A and B are shown apart, each in its own frame.
Chain A
Amino acid sequence: MTARRPGPLAAVGAALLGVIVIASAAAPLLSASNPVKPTFSQRLRPPLGLGGTASHPLGTDNLGRDIWARLLHGGRISLVLATSAVLLATGVGVLAGLLSGVMGGLVDDLLMRAADVQLTFPVIMLAIAIVSVVGTSPIALVGVLSLSGWVLHARTVRANVLTVWRLDYIEAAGALGASRHRLVLRHVLPNVLAPILVIASSQFATMVLLESGLSFLGMGIQPPAPSWGTMLSEGRDYLSNAWWLGTVPGLAISAVVLGANLLGDGLRDWLDPQSR
């Protein structure tokens, strides 16, 4: 059986994502402007090519802050939050799935019921309700974001465990003296790695969307810290006279999400062709 290679779309997605991640990471190198300090003499300058200057290639916002700088710095924060949330969701989800599948019984029941109950709430409603109680610190945000992701991991891993657990070679290994510990680590986990990777990469997109949505509503990253979501909500009031305020950050979010989605789809086609 020939191994299929990841398609061109996945490469495009990966490239898109890569460019944005690197640009955000190199934010201070790519822009000398301060993303946070207002400069009222420079308010609402248009971007380069529409009447603006090279010192503010994407224009300035209503407080005179350089949009390019805010885009890069905001990207850093959003991407770090999203990545941490994906890692946490994957960790917790895989652990929960393993516990559920291996131990079964009450543990399984409780975990799956908790997942069902959590899923009856629209994610964003649950998110803003929890944020209202625990606050908007980065740790709280990462926690809330990962809450939206652990269930899919848990269910996938659990299904996998249930299938593999009954197979003969597991029983054989057990008969040879392998501990449950070892059985799980060496036999179950490698099996489950591919789907988890696929889920994690498309969850990255969801996390970025959720985080920017929260910030847009004012429940995520608080001003003056830059975030693509808050930039969008600020830009909304200036649609008629400074439309670039609202357009640019949205393009950034779309690019990241598109990249992640393409990458996720490509990975899925490559690693798990049956789940088309």
Chain B
Amino acid sequence: MRAYFARRLGQSALTLLGTSVLVFLILRVLPGDPAKMLLPEGAPQSAIEELNRQLGLKEPLHVQYAIFLRSVFRGDFGQSFQYRAPALQVVVERLPATIDLTLVAMALTVAAGVAIGIVAAVRAGSRYDYAGTVLAVLGQSLPSFWLGIMLILLFGVTLHWLPTSGFQGWRYLVLPTVTLAAYPTALVARLTRSSLLEILRQDYVRTSRAKGLAERTVVLRHALRNATIPVLTVIGLQIGTLLGGAVITESVFAWPGIGKLVVDAIFFRDFPVVQTILILSASIFIGINLLVDLLYVVIDPRIRYG
């Protein structure tokens, strides 16, 4: 088991390194003068030359990458020119808002998605199944920014039940969370349904029924356990979807998190902040997927020896 842990850890570290290469390349290799891009608009030529020299942009590419990596390890992600503060600080300040949104959306996704999936699987072919599937297809098809706007229109403008933007208190969380969670919930619901259907056909399920166990026990204790694995994979992958979805949802609801920050930063050509957010979100994704993989081992003993 320890060998598996070590191997996965190593793989994650390697992927993280590759991620830093990609972020580095996007800024340095694609067309455009990087120094000019890293400085605010209208900076004098002398400042551009100076930054060029400082960043070692005259050096060969691998030397530049080494310099970049070294500063990242020291926690120096550059200076945000929008806010005149270290980029890392600017990003970390806004992280909690996004974490709030993402966590609640994730909770909603798991709860609603799994519940809908179970009902649809257990009552396959009935109108509950039909309703669930329709909801899932809609959830995957409606663009989230439109859903958000429609929800604002319905609950905010027309009914005045919920506030339309801002973020103090749980009431402000409702609409953005529902908007963000729609797509992943649909995905989880469909996957839970198909996994569970697959499992309910298996022999051991038939055996437990034959043993006289209540249907509820069969489904919840025995079948669901085995359905957990693929569902867990998808949940781990949904972190990426949620982080990406947060970019749009936060823009729709003016939610002050890193999603909105990255859009604003790009408009302002604030590349240090953009860089920081890219690396941060990739790290979160890699971290969570590593956790999910390690969690597998706990849940499914077969993997331990694989």
Contacts and interface: CB of A to CB of B under 8 A. Distances in A.
A258 B141 contact: yes
B188 interface: no
A122 B244 contact: yes
A229 B248 CA distance: 12
A240 B141 contact: no
B234 interface: no
Given A205-B141, A261-B141, A120 B247 contact: no
A239 B143 contact: no
B55 interface: no
Nearest to B252: A236
Contacts of B16: 120
Contact of A209 (B32, B143, B150): B143
A132 B15 CA distance: 24
B239 to A, nearest CB: 9
A133 B31 contact: yes
Nearest to B271: A132
Given A113-B18, A124-B247, A132-B274, A254 B240 contact: no
A34 to B, nearest CB: 25
A123 interface: yes
Contact of A239 (B18, B137, B157, B245): B157
A217 interface: yes
B162 to A, nearest CB: 14
B145 A216 contact: yes
A262 B16 CA distance: 37
Nearest to A218: B267
A108 to B, nearest CB: 15
Interface in B249-291: 251-252, 262-263, 266-267, 269, 274, 277-278, 281-282, 285-286
B32 to A, nearest CB: 6
Interface string B1-24: 000000000000011101101100
A117 B19 contact: yes
Contact of A122 (B146, B243, B251, B252): B243
Nearest to A113: B18
B137 A262 contact: yes
B15 A120 contact: yes
Contacts of A133: 26-27, 30-32, 37
Contacts of B141: 205, 254, 257-258, 261
Interface residues of B, number: 49
B140 A261 contact: yes
A173 interface: no
B82 interface: no
B150 A247 contact: yes
B244 A232 contact: no
Contacts of B241: 122
Contact of A132 (B152, B157, B266): B266
A212 interface: yes
Interface SS of A by simple majority: helix
B153 A120 contact: no
Nearest to B149: A246
B52 interface: no
A212 B143 contact: yes
Contacts of B21: 117
Nearest to A235: B149
A84 to B, nearest CB: 20
A132 B269 contact: yes
A124 B137 CA distance: 21
Given A117-B21, A239-B152, A254 B269 contact: no
B64 interface: no
Contact of B274 (A129, A240, A258): A129
A254 B245 CA distance: 17
Interface in A126-179: 126, 128-130, 132-134
A188 B18 CA distance: 31
A27 to B, nearest CB: 21
Contacts of A205: 141
Contacts of A216: 145, 248, 251
B277 A125 contact: yes
B194 interface: yes
B18 A117 contact: yes
A81 to B, nearest CB: 15
A120 B142 contact: no
Contacts of A258: 137-138, 141
11 contacts: A113-B15, A120-B15, A121-B282, A124-B248, A128-B247, A132-B266, A133-B37, A212-B143, A213-B248, A239-B149, A258-B141
Given A122-B244, A122-B285, A133-B30, 8 more contacts: A123-B244, A124-B247, A125-B281, A133-B27, A213-B248, A217-B263, A246-B150, A247-B153
